[in-house]
């Protein structure tokens, strides 16, 4: 299958129109006329992931996080970004990324993490401005029929996403009635979640001062880590692309080296 055919399907699943203004999505490196026989799924395009693609003979790396956010001034081996781009080109490996558009689209990463946690998607925290995708946007609000303690919610997250460690703010006996879920780095949406009545936010990549302030305002926060909030979810939603393509001659491989950069003792 030609890369351009895969891109067409990918952009039906995660329309570029839904990306946030700061974001850069789509074909990062490559040739739309390339023949694709093997696709490697990874959260980030690291040098390890590129080596993995080379070793398994992948023609395309599909990532969630874009390799290129800003226009580089140079492409040389003197920089990490330059090394990656040159390595991709030298080995005829294409790179495509779907980021905030895949987060916000209906049945994308936001909706999928909600389902993985055993809930049903509710109100959007920040609806998409596009009139073509009314059920899309960043973040989901979940109303709990029977309130949960913070401790039970934490245990539910750990078991559902196979997470060993997470950070939280609040008392374990706190009762949770309304949850905001934002995969990735979601602290920019804390105030909107609070305005919508959320008493707990599940996200990743929180920082000290944000968390400290919202703790004082009585909000519980569960930081499961940026990687953990997206990796299992990405694996699940990538099955949607595979199923929609319905191809026997294109292999989809989940990266074995795409890992959280953080380690815990």
226 marked among binding-site residues: yes
Phi, psi of 197 (to 5 degrees): 95, 10
- CB count, 10 Å around CB of 256? 12
209 marked among binding-site residues: no
Question: How would you write 138-197 as a 3-class SS string?
Answer: EEEEEEEEEEEEHHHHHHHHHHHHCCCCCEEECCCCCEEEEEEEEEEECHHHHHHHHHCC
64 marked among binding-site residues: yes
Given the DSSP bridges, would you call strands 137-149 and 175-185 parallel, antiparallel or unpaired? antiparallel
230 marked among binding-site residues: yes
- CB count, 10 Å around CB of 40? 29
92 marked among binding-site residues: no
Nearest Cα to Cα of residue 47 among 80, 72, 69, 75: 80
Binding site for a divalent metal cation: which residues?
Answer: 64-65, 103, 226, 230
Annotated binding site: 64-65, 103, 226, 230
């Amino acid at each position: 299958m030609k890369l351009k055919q895969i891109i067409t399907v990918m952009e039906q699943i995660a329309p570029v129109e839904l990306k946030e203004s700061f974001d850069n999505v789509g074909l990062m490196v490559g040739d739309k006329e390339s023949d694709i026989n093997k696709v490697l799924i990874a959260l980030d395009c690291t040098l390890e992931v590129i080596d993995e693609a080379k070793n398994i003979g992948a023609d395309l790396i599909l990532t969630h996080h874009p390799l290129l956010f800003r226009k580089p001034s140079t492409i040389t081996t003197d920089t990490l970004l330059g090394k990656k781009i040159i390595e991709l080109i030298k080995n005829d490996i294409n790179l495509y990324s779907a980021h905030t558009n895949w987060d916000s689209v209906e049945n994308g990463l936001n909706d999928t993490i909600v389902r993985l946690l055993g809930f049903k998607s509710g109100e959007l925290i920040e609806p998409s401005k596009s009139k073509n995708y009314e059920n899309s946007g960043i973040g989901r609000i979940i109303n709990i029929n029977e309130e949960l303690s913070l401790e039970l919610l934490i245990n539910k997250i750990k078991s559902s996403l196979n997470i060993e460690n997470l950070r939280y703010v609040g008392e374990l006996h706190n009762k949770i009635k309304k949850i905001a879920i934002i995969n990735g780095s979601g602290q920019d949406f804390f105030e909107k979640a609070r305005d919508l009545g959320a008493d707990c936010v599940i996200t990743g990549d929180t920082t000290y001062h944000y968390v400290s302030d919202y703790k004082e305002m009585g909000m519980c926060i569960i930081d499961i880590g940026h990687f953990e909030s997206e990796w299992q979810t990405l694996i699940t939603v990538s099955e949607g692309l595979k199923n929609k393509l319905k191809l026997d001659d294109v292999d989809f491989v989940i990266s074995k080296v795409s890992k959280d950069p953080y380690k815990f003792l």
